[in-house]
Amino acid sequence: MSTTDSMESSTELVRLEGVKKYFPVTKGLVIQHTVGMVKAMDGISFAIPEGQTYSIVGESGCGKTTTSRIVLMAEPPTEGQVYFQGRPMERFSAAEQRAFRASVQAVFQDPWSSLNPRMRVGSIISEPLTTHQRLTKQEMKAQVNELLEVVGLHPFHAQRYPHEFSGGQRQRIAIARALSTRPKLIVLDEPVSALDVSIRAQILNLLKELQQTYSLSYLLIAHNLATVRYMSHEIGVMYLGKIVEEARPDELFTNPLHPYTKALISASLPAHPRQQREEIVLAGEVPSPLNPPSGCAFHTRCPFVMDHCSKEIPEYREVEQGHRVACHLYTDRGVLSPASTTL
C-alpha cells in the first residue's frame, strides 16, 4: 500500500501559496544598513492533505527549516499566503490563533536538547495541556499515562527525568508531548537522524502507526532519501529556496526529472555492495543563498546546462499528473526531451 489513490479526494489541511521569506543581511555596528537579502524561501507553493505526509528534501541551506518555521507560524512570510483549513493565517483572530497553536506541533532532531533536563517526563508531556486545556490533576495524570502508553512507554516513566532515558525513548517522549494537544499536523524535523540505527525503524513505525490511528498530517524534513520514501505520500525537492520538483515517492524515485533530483538519488548510498548506481558527481557546492545564480539557480552545477539556463528562470509546471518540475529541459524551449536525459 503506497497510500496514494485512496486519499486523492481528501481535504487539504495546509496550503502554501507563493510564500517568500527573505532575511536581511546587515552591516555596521551602530548604523545598520541592509547589504543584501538571503532568500530562504523564494516562491514556495505546496499543500499537505489531511492524514498524509508531505516531505521536503534538500541539502543544508536550501530553506527546509525556514519552510517548517513558516508552517509552524513561528515566522511570518515576507510575501505569499499560508492557509490552514482553508483560512489564511494572516487573518487569524486571537481565538483562531490559539486553536492553531494546539493543532500544530513539532518533533525535533535532537531529543537531548529538545527536552528540558530539569523537568520530569510527566510535566514535559503535560505542559502543552496546561496551556491549552483546563484539566484537573486527576484528568491530567490520566492523560499523561495514556500518552506514555500510546508511544510505547510506561506510566511509571512519568516520574523520571530525561537523562534517565536513551535516545529512542527520549524521542518517544517528544512524540508524546506533541500528541498531547491532539494536533492535526506535526512538523517532523529530521526525527530519526540523531538516533541509533537499530532504533530508527522503531520510531518511524511508531510515527506511521500514529498517523493511521489519529489521521495525522506530517510535514517531514529529512535528508535521508530512503527514510523519506518510506514515510511520504508526496515529496518536494528543494534547492536554494525553491521547490524544483514534486511528485509521489514511487514516481519520484523511478522517474526523477530534475537533474538535481537525479544527482541526489545517485549520491545516496547503495543498499548492497553489488548494487551499482550511476554516480552523478556535482561540481562544487551549493552556492550562497545571499547571491544565488541567475536564471535557474542550479545551472552552475548542472550536468545538462544549456545556454538559456543562466538567463531565464524555468517555469514550475506539471509534466505528468501529480509530477511537477522546474527545469528548462522540460519546457517547450528545451532542446532535449525527457527520455533522452535518462541516466
Partner 1 sequence: MNEQPILAVEDLQTYFFTNAGVVKAVDGISFELHKGETLGIVGESGSGKSMTAWSILRLVPEPAGRIVGGRILYQGENLLEKSQAEMQEIRGNGICMVMQDPLTSLNPVFNIGNQIIECLRMDSTPSGQSLSERAIELLAKVHIPAPRDRIAAFPHQMSGGMRQRVVGAIAISRSPNLLIADEPTTSLDATIQLQYLRLLKEIQEQTGAGIIFITHDFGIVARMCDRVAVMYAGKIVEQADVEQLFDNPAHPYTEALLQSVPNLDIDVDLLPSIEGQPPTLDDLPEGCAFAPRCAYAFDKCSEYPPEFSVEPGHGARCWRHHVNN
Q: Which residues bind partner 1 (CB under 8 A)?
A: 1-2, 59-60, 166-169, 196-202, 204-205, 208, 223-227, 229-230, 249-250, 253, 263-275, 279, 281-282, 284-286
Name which of 35 and 201 has its Cβ closer to partner 1: 201
Name which of 55 and 105 has its Cβ closer to partner 1: 55
Measured from the CB of residue 25, what is the shortest distance to partner 1 in angstroms? 17
Q: Are 84 and 49 in contact (CB under 8 A)?
A: no
Name which of 4 and 123 has its Cβ closer to partner 1: 4
Name which of 177 and 248 has its Cβ closer to partner 1: 248
Name which of 80 and 287 has its Cβ closer to partner 1: 287
Measured from the CB of residue 198, what is the shortest distance to partner 1 in angstroms? 4
Beta strand 104-107 with 185-189 is parallel
d(CA 89, CA 46): 15
Measured from the CB of residue 251, what is the shortest distance to partner 1 in angstroms? 11
232 residue type, one letter: S
Q: Where are the alpha helices (DSSP H) in the chain?
A: 64-71, 94-103, 121-132, 137-150, 167-179, 197-214, 225-231, 249-254, 259-267
- Hey, CA dihedral for 71, 214, 53, 59, is it positive or negative? positive
Q: Which residues pair with 88 in a beta bridge?
A: 83
Measured from the CB of residue 203, what is the shortest distance to partner 1 in angstroms? 9
Q: Are 244 and 327 in contact (CB under 8 A)?
A: yes
Q: Are 136 and 72 in contact (CB under 8 A)?
A: no
Name which of 255 and 331 has its Cβ closer to partner 1: 255
The kind and range of the H/E element at 27 are: strand 12-27
Measured from the CB of residue 85, what is the shortest distance to partner 1 in angstroms? 29
Measured from the CB of residue 222, what is the shortest distance to partner 1 in angstroms? 11
